[in-house]
Amino acid sequence: MKDAIKCKHCSSSNFCKKGFRKTDYRGKIQKYYCKNCKRFFTNDEGFYRMRFNPKTITMSVDMYLSNLSSRKMRNQLTRHFSIKASHMTILDWVRRYSLKVHKFVENLGYNLGNHFYADETEINRLGHRDNFWACVDWDTRMITGIHYSVATNIKEATVFIQKSVSKGKPKYIQTDSAQFYPKAFKKLFYSNKIGGLVVEHKIQNVRKTKIHNYKIETVFMKIKDRVHDFRGLKALWSAPIIMTGLTIQHNFIEPHCNKQEFPCNLAGVDLGLKENRWLDLIRMSSR
């Protein structure tokens, strides 16, 4: 992907470098002068007016989403870098950049396989039993869609399945035998609401067949384990955003354990991310 800088005001690429803007926390930032609209701009790359260094921010987001609580992350920053950021600030970074990157990656083109697996799991949120829904592509291990809800019913299942096929339609989606799925599939695929292509619904009744999909279940387990580490989630407005962050972490940041490959790459999306994958993703999302 090209690193094309454009004028923030008029999107022109007819500009030149002109001086620097001094910032308190991010050093000197290159200033540009647009010859088209005759205005100055900087290429802030997603960190405009942030009071901390991009490396501190991306390390915190990465570590929070991989295994560290926001309070532990705060303590590490103080101990090793004498950086004073509150745990709420760290959570704000996680939410802000999860949303930003989510908007960007949702619009990329993916090359997904033909077999998807969808499942839902309970999430503890201050004593409430919320639901987290996720759909995984068998070939790439890419999480194709997620959904967060307080109830499980046909309406929520329909929204979830619709999200799950937004990046590509498989031949079939396999689910457990929960009763709301057949009706959701009927609503979506057999009354011609999504295009003309029909997606087959396969039901795996584990109790009857005793067959588990271990490869897919490891993906769900990894996400579930992380949520368990949080000791549940707190605010209903925040919970889906954190889950979105975990999905980005799975699809783009951490290589698949035995394959050493990233689900996004397996799905044909090569963004050329370097070591600090969150930093590169945020920069790309800010152009």
Which residues of the shown chain bind Zn ion in the complex (CB under 5 A)?
7, 9-10, 12, 34, 36-37
Give least dist CB 11 to Zn ion, A. Answer: 7
Q: Tell me the two tokens of residue 105.
A: 């990656």
Q: Rounded to an integer, what distance in angstroms lies between the CA atom of residue 14 and that of residue 35?
A: 6
User: Nearer to Zn ion by C-beta: 19 or 195?
Assistant: 19
Residue closer to Zn ion by CB (options 8, 163) is 8
Cβ atoms of residues 15 and 34 within 8 Å: yes
- Shortest Å distance, C-beta 12 to Zn ion: 5
Q: Which is nearer to Zn ion, 16 or 211 (CB)?
A: 16
In the bound state with Zn ion, the residue whose beta carbon lies nearer, of 30 and 177, is: 30
CA distance 147 to 183: 17
Q: Which amino acid is at 75?
A: N
Cα distances from 241 to residues 99, 110, 157, 215, 225, in angstroms, run 7, 22, 19, 25, 17
CB of 30 or CB of 75, closer to Zn ion: 30
Query: Terminal CA-to-CA distance of the chain, rounded, Å?
Result: 11
Closest to Zn ion by CB, 14 vs 205, is 14
Minimum distance of Zn ion from residue 38's CB (angstroms): 8
What stretches of 120-213 show up as alpha helix (H) in DSSP?
154-164, 180-189, 206-209
How near is the Cβ of 30 to Zn ion at its closest, in Å?
A: 16
Cα 136 from Cα 114, distance rounded (Å): 11
Task: Determine the length of the chain.
Answer: 287
Residue indicated by tokens 């077999």: 115
**Of 5 and 37, which CB lies nearer to Zn ion in the complex structure?**
37
Tokens, residue 231:
């000791």
CB of 33 to Zn ion, least distance (A): 9
Contact 133, 76 (CB under 8 A): no
Q: Is the dihedral of CA 273, 279, 285, 287 positive or negative?
A: negative
Instruction: Tell the smallest beta-carbon distance from residue 168 to Zn ion (Å).
Output: 37
- Whether residue 281 contacts residue 61, with contact meaning beta carbons closer than 8 Å, is answered with no
Least distance (Å) between residue 283 CB and Zn ion: 20
C-alpha to C-alpha distance for 155 and 187, rounded to whole angstroms: 10
- The DSSP symbol for 252 reads I
Q: How far is the CB of 198 from Zn ion (least distance, A)?
A: 48
Number of H helices, E strands in the chain: 10, 8
Q: Residue 9 or residue 21: which is nearer to Zn ion going by CB?
A: 9
